[in-house]
Amino acid sequence: MRLSTSANGQAKRPSWHWAWPLTLLMHSALAQTTPPAAINPINPATAPELAQAQIIATVLEHNPQLRAAQSALDAAKSGIQTARALPNPRFDWTQGHNTARIPGVTSGALRSWTLSQPIENPYGRQARIDFANASELEGKHLIGQTRNGLVSQVRLFIYQGLLHQAQATAAADDVQLLEQVRERVRIRVESGEAARYEIIKADAEIITARERLQTARLMVEQSKIQLNQLAAGQLPAQWRLQGDLKDSQELLDMAQLQQLMLKHNTELSLLQTDVNKAQAQLRSAESSRWPGVELRYSQSRDPEFRQGQWGVGVQLPLLDRRSGPIAQASAELERAQIRLEGRKAELSQQVLLTWKSLEMARLRIEALSQGSVREAEAALRVAQAAYRFGERGILDVLDAQRVLRSVRADLIQARYQLQEARVMLDQLIGQNIEHTPS
């Protein structure tokens, strides 16, 4: 770019309309000359491979959300000790002095003390203990829910990384094939057998394929960053995903899946603990109708007498019949039961929908792998042979390759959708509460 000066010596504005075409030409030349291996700076030979079980174990060991759920369980266990504790006795001490104001009365020191012990309602005490036990069970189910959801999230990120990894492999194959096609086109163009626009079209296809390759590799790195975030940064700095999207597991039938969901689903378990806590609250409110009892013993001493007294204190529920707390606890129990039954119906339909999605993905994989992919590969071979003999143009070859690329992308996406549906089913039936998948 050149700067020119005006007659008065001031510099004119630079010719930016020449800079933009030069910049585009430089980027185009760079995309044509950059080898595919230079897009990914990671050396595959030195980066370790991590299997799914290794990643899950690391995440479960260091994830802060799971550790917080375990701390909540410790707090709930302490609540049981609090609920089982008996009320402490009360001790009162008074001291004074007696001064005689009439003859015949002895003056001296006065002392008295009182010991009282509340007697707790056994029904209310048991209701409080039941509430604490339900809170502890809720903490255990919360750990299971956190673990189950965390493992499912890790598996989804892993399969997303494997999806982008498969897309990167397919894009690298496309780049290699397009470079071979471009070389044949270059020879034909230089010999005068083909027009110049054919090599321009081949160069454009190579640039697009390399952009897809770079995007897929960047998406793989993004999935690994998300996994490392769940592991609190404890994964290696450079590593590779081990595995593929191919499915080799047997699927249970619908009746077994529904039974496992009703038995092990963590969300239903938490809702059931809410019902148990509401029942304990209702029993506690009902037991508060009974009178409260307190045993007392007092002793007083003056210069002439020493007195000891036994007594019982009773709080009579005459003015407050506890109707409000009982009605509130009954409403909370009914609400918890409605939520539990409604969520059971929703999760049952969700299991059915996820199972249908898995079956659709499996049928799509069979149709693509056994029919469409083979037909697209055969069509590409025919187009390449016809181009070598001059019967077809370069556009026919590129169109055939584009069809094959689209069919392969659909197959990769269908395999990912199958794995995604399987992960969702495992989460619904509580597969990852205690054991991690291999």
Residue with tokens 């969700």: 350
- CA 20, 21, 24: angle at the middle one, nearest 5? 85
The pLDDT assigned to 345 comes to 95
Q: Does domain 47-87+125-290+343-428 have CATH number 3.40.50.300?
A: no
* Phi and psi based region of residue 314 (left: phi greater than 0; alpha: psi -120 to 50; beta: remaining): beta
**90 pairs with which residues across the strands?**
116
At 248, list the tokens.
Answer: 């080799």
CA dihedral 424, 429, 434, 437 (to 10 degrees): -50
- Asked if pLDDT for residue 331 goes beyond 90, the answer is yes
436 — pLDDT class (breaks 50, 70, 90): very low
- The residue ranking higher by pLDDT, 96 or 148, is 148
Which one-letter DSSP state was computed for residue 6?
A: -
Amino acid at site 304: E
Rounded CA separation 309/13 (Å)? 109
When mean pLDDT is compared across 14-28, 158-172, 415-429, the lowest value belongs to 14-28
Q: Are 260 and 430 in contact (CB under 8 A)?
A: yes
Rounded CA separation 204/198 (Å)? 10
Rounded CA separation 373/76 (Å)? 57
- Is the full-model pTM beyond 0.85? no
Q: Are 262 and 346 in contact (CB under 8 A)?
A: no
Q: What is the rounded average pLDDT for all residues in the chain? A: 83
Chain centroid offset of residue 215 CA: 25
406 — pLDDT class (breaks 50, 70, 90): confident
- The residue ranking higher by pLDDT, 180 or 156, is 156
Per cent of the chain over pLDDT 90 is 43
410: how many CB neighbours lie within 10 A of its CB?
16
Rounded CA separation 369/357 (Å)? 18
Q: Render the burial of 54-86: b for 16+ CB within 10 Å, e for the rest.
A: ebbebbbeebeebeebeebbeebeebeeebeee
Tell me the backbone φ, ψ of residue 252, rounded to 5 degrees.
-70, 160
